[in-house]
Structure 1
């Protein structure tokens, strides 16, 4: 891929509508889908080649070996300057959320508390509650960053009475796109140590940090020795349909990792492991093109929001390809709609419902992201500038009609 090619302009809207994934099948054909976290790009050539070669040689069995973890260690060293990833303290798991569940099972018991920073990725709530743990919320501050006072209060509530507790951290944060600094993460580690709270970190968006910010792996921070992190190439290289992730343990969590049931490792797909390994080892040129395109779309979205969505507040994200739009100052009524699945609690409300009905643009409804999410929408800007422009123009026209 040459530097002049925008990966989001290689696939036309008509071609995108031929896709059969959730993003393109959850809504009718007149809807522009900017909701679930799928990118409108062709896969990286090294991934295509690796999968083609595996199929050609009939390599369609069960996964084996440490190649995936070794590829991540190499990537982490090159990309983040982190040389502390020990492949012996890793395990392949079906995907990041299921790996989170297994990590939480290792360090908490039914009835224990799990602290989350709201608003946050909706499956944090549903998966944790399904495994019979209770949620304690520690809201982000007004700038969308970690509020250490709120976190300390939540840790105190979570451990009151002597029960076990864990902290499920999203880094970079979904939906705000906040990239936590080393100082913030060190403060988290200190608090967790003080309250004996086990930390489990979702780092799936780690490769998707935009210009102006730097990603810090949590296990590279002093005080993180008892923590777990989860990651994969899924978001960075658009591989959601190829399920495989890695669970990483800090040095003092190795004995916990050893208790991970063997059958957990039966879930990942061998072809997925091959794809993720290829992405991490040879997919950085493609990733760089994507990041350049996302930087451009982030700036474009800021301009479009200012021009077409008066009253809607947009703080450009530092990472991910997700925009968190604050629509609380916009009068749109209390419309409701059905129609989105995983990650959106099934129902839409407020601005997301209005824009689906009136603009034929699908966004993620903020209310599903927990306390502080109502009145917001999450918009996926990993698409072509043309689609992004048309979507925001539609949203602006609908807003004018409804407000007028």
Structure 2
């Protein structure tokens, strides 16, 4: 039986997205493949249809063999991320001394907001944006102020300044929660854009907390720029993790990173926060960053291929859908407003086409009539999903 199991899951392609069949994926017990009935193709939540990178799998096996399942400690994760940042982004400003382990990126965001703002302080976001930005902030009792992206899906500095002006009127300590790369649009903010943001934030005395979880997942023609690396970003706080790029959301761990001028803020992080991450998670994330580069490179090629494939499929089957291949993430933001499916086309695609996508509505202003599609799957599944979406219009 063990030999047969290994054969079933033996990689048969260099592309991590082409190593598992639908039948194999349906054996998974995580959210993506269990939230809907078996006749639904799930292209929604941010899980990838891949095997683990072998260095990550081996690190977990080694830890389990040793019974190394205790409490986390040490700076190996931060050091691995610092090396990765230097090699991939040309950024040598990540100091392990200015980091702290946190349970995951969104819980890390919550802790950063507590450090640099007041309990009633507003939080500025750029919709359409990752729904937990609204959910977590509102659960803290904080008001959300929207500074919508421009029509080009980039940061609109005029809208941002208007939001900053409104935010500081109450006398609290507002925070700008930035998503970089942006989810769901996949926009990668340029160094110039980020420097403009930093200058504006300094002028209004607004602190910046940035979610950079998708940073390793960029298209071949794109360069990711860490917010903390730009002039004026020295007092920023960043959250990073290997979870999205190596498909590790079930192995909880992330890093909070402080710019040089925010080091004292991070020192005030309660010690008990570091008890939340999984030790196995930290082992897995460290192995991914340290030894998973070749696997990541293969994944990025596969994602580039899938972006082109999706564009071709939509042109053939759903030409009224507007789609601009993203610069980053493995998510596609599809404008379905010309299909005549109402405010929530995801509901129609699910009901009539048996394809699960994310509704654009929870992403805030600019999300109505849109869907988010997860293209981190095999070309065969992606092709069938678009075919089913087209059938929903018949």
Which whole-Å CA distance do the structure 2 matches of 1:60 and 1:305 have between them? 46
Say yes or no: does 1:388 pair with 2:382. yes
Can you list the C-alpha shifts for 1:253-300, whole angstroms capped at 9, x where unaligned?
111111100110000010000000000000000000000000000000
What is the aligned counterpart of 2:356 among 362, 365, 376? 362
1:32 matched to which residue of 2? 41
Which whole-Å CA distance do the structure 2 matches of 1:146 and 1:166 have between them? 16
Q: Give the total of aligned pairs.
A: 385
Which whole-Å CA distance do the structure 1 matches of 2:254 and 2:12 have between them? 30
TM superposition score normalised by structure 2: 0.96
How do 1:217-236 residues align onto structure 2 when only pairs under 5 Å count?
217-236=226-245
1:62 matched to which residue of 2? 71
CA contact (8 A) 1:120 1:370 kept: yes
CA change 1:184–1:333 in 2 (3 A) is closer
CA contact (8 A) 2:12 2:19 kept: no
C-alpha displacement at 1:4, in angstroms?
A: 5.9
CA contact (8 A) 2:342 2:369 kept: no
Say yes or no: does 1:398 pair with 2:389. no
How do 1:215-294 residues align onto structure 2 when only pairs under 5 Å count?
215-294=224-303
Which whole-Å CA distance do the structure 2 matches of 1:291 and 1:393 have between them? 24
SS of 1:314's equivalent? coil
Q: Which runs of 5+ in 1 are unaligned?
A: 335-349
C-alpha displacement at 1:160, in angstroms?
A: 1.1
SS of 1:205's equivalent? coil
Q: Which runs of 5+ in 2 are unaligned?
A: 1-9
SS of 1:208's equivalent? coil
2:192 matched to which residue of 1? 183
CA contact (8 A) 1:118 1:140 kept: yes
Which whole-Å CA distance do the structure 1 matches of 2:142 and 2:309 have between them? 41
Which whole-Å CA distance do the structure 2 matches of 1:252 and 1:332 have between them? 49
C-alpha displacement at 1:161, in angstroms?
A: 3.4
SS of 2:280's equivalent? helix
Which whole-Å CA distance do the structure 1 matches of 2:189 and 2:216 have between them? 14
SS of 1:173's equivalent? coil
1:337 matched to which residue of 2? none
2:128 matched to which residue of 1? 119
C-alpha displacement at 1:133, in angstroms?
A: 1.0
Can you list the C-alpha shifts for 1:305-360, whole angstroms capped at 9, x where unaligned?
111113111011000000000011111246xxxxxxxxxxxxxxx20000000000
Which whole-Å CA distance do the structure 2 matches of 1:241 and 1:4 have between them? 25
1:148 matched to which residue of 2? 157
C-alpha displacement at 1:58, in angstroms?
A: 1.1
The range that moved more, 303-312 or 111-120, is 303-312
Which whole-Å CA distance do the structure 2 matches of 1:275 and 1:80 have between them? 21
Say yes or no: does 1:353 pair with 2:347. yes
Which whole-Å CA distance do the structure 1 matches of 2:85 and 2:263 have between them? 20
SS of 1:98's equivalent? helix
Say yes or no: does 1:100 pair with 2:109. yes
Which whole-Å CA distance do the structure 2 matches of 1:255 and 1:387 have between them? 48
Which whole-Å CA distance do the structure 1 matches of 2:40 and 2:266 have between them? 44
CA contact (8 A) 1:3 1:289 kept: no
